[in-house]
Amino acid sequence: MTRIARVELYAHCNALGGKVWNPAIRWSDKFAVFVVVRDTAGQVGIGECWCFDAAPDALMAFLRTEVVPQFLGAPLAAMEEIARAMLDKATLTARHGILSSALSGLDLAIWDLRARHAGRPLWQLLNPAGTGRAPVYGSGGLYGVDKTPADLRDEMAGMVASGHGIAKMKVGALSPDEDRLRVEAALTALPPGRSLIIDGVYSYTAVEARAFYACLPQDRILAFQSPVPASDLAGMRALTAAGVPVMAVEAEYRPKLQAQLVEEGCVRFLQVAPIAVGGVSRIRALCDLVAGTPVDLSLEVSSTAHAFVAAAHMAAAYPQIAHVEYHYVHHVFFDQLSAQPVGGAFALPMQPGIGMAPPLDQLTHHATLNHEGTAPVPDLQPSIEA
């Protein structure tokens, strides 16, 4: 029986220097946390945890002291049972959010291992009838120092030239008139039939969001992401009922709230980040949740190419996933990809597992945890063959 023998924790910092921002955050340093799992058969799986703009120290300490020890020595098949027990206990520990992030990394790493053992790419293990191709959209359009609407137009044109049929930009940090001009500039870069997603980053009231959407060419707006605060379910429900294609709420990990968003018709697209909500296991459950409803899933990725490829595998497996975010600002290790989007889709590699690994020699090592009683595990090489 294959068991988890060793777990290594790594971090990466993307220094953005405060030169770009959205209505809520000016980006300085953006971290990514990786979980590298080696099993007793000598296979390696890699997952990533949601870190957003926070320093990785608290998450690393939590992984090292409270989460990873629960998995060391456990069979790969026991992952879901262990995770479920920890989530149940979180009612007492009050660790819900950080636990969801930590478990996401482990879940992704173990699914990577399962697919490697099966000799299949992850999407094919999840669904042999899957397409192997993930629908993607280009994401950027942040505010920047001295960035003009013409600059934004050129940025959107670059996404189109890179093979995207859908692009995303931020709104909400300027006046409605100024942001309307920015949207119009972006749309001039998109050929007829191409669509735009606008992201308000929770900066409007429902009344303001509806008024802003009304002044736009609505046939060109595929979705209005996070128009109101994440807690304003009534506002999202009213906007959706009025015909606004609401997409929300990226890092929300609570199953009951996700179900409420779907069942009460609060969103057109339920947007979730696999590295925040529980990895592959949770995305599978969410696909079941939205099946047969008017709601599609959309997978948020604003970290690294590893998180992107993992999300793309899920989208290539399940038709309930409408699209995956391909970010041009939070764009770490994308030069490691063997292919780029073509015609609005990303073709997954056919290697077993996720098929992409971050270069470990470019990461900061934080901890190594071994299962007692197992044979010593050799050091990992700076990079892992996909």
Residue 385 maps to a domain? no
Q: What is the pLDDT of residue 62?
A: 96
Q: What CATH number has the domain bearing residue 341?
A: 3.20.20.120
- Residue 170 near residue 23, CB atoms below 8 Å: yes
Predicted local distance difference test score (pLDDT) of residue 54: 81
Q: What percent of the chain is predicted at pLDDT more than 90?
A: 90
Distance CA 212, CA 368 (A): 50
Residues of the chain with pLDDT under 50: 374-386
CA-CA distance, 67 to 78, in Å (whole number)? Answer: 14
Is the domain of 112 the same as that of 133? no
Let me know whether 60 and 144 are in one domain.
no
- Report if residue 334 sits inside a domain: yes
Contact at 8 Å (CB) between 129 and 140? no
Q: What is the pLDDT of residue 193?
A: 87
Does any domain span residue 378?
no
**pLDDT at position 53, please?**
72
Q: How far is CA 30 from CA 38, 115, 271, 317, in A?
A: 27, 30, 21, 29
Asked whether residue 384 is domain-assigned, the answer is no
For residue 373, the model assigns a pLDDT of 52
Domain that holds residue 67: 4-122+357-370
Give me the percent of the chain exceeding a pLDDT of 70. Answer: 96
In a domain, 236, yes or no: yes
Gap between the Cα atoms of 328 and 334, Å rounded = 9
pLDDT at 331: 92
In the chain, how many domains are there?
Answer: 2
Any domain includes 262: yes
On whether the pTM is more than 0.85, the answer is yes
Q: Are residues 169 and 315 in the same domain?
A: yes
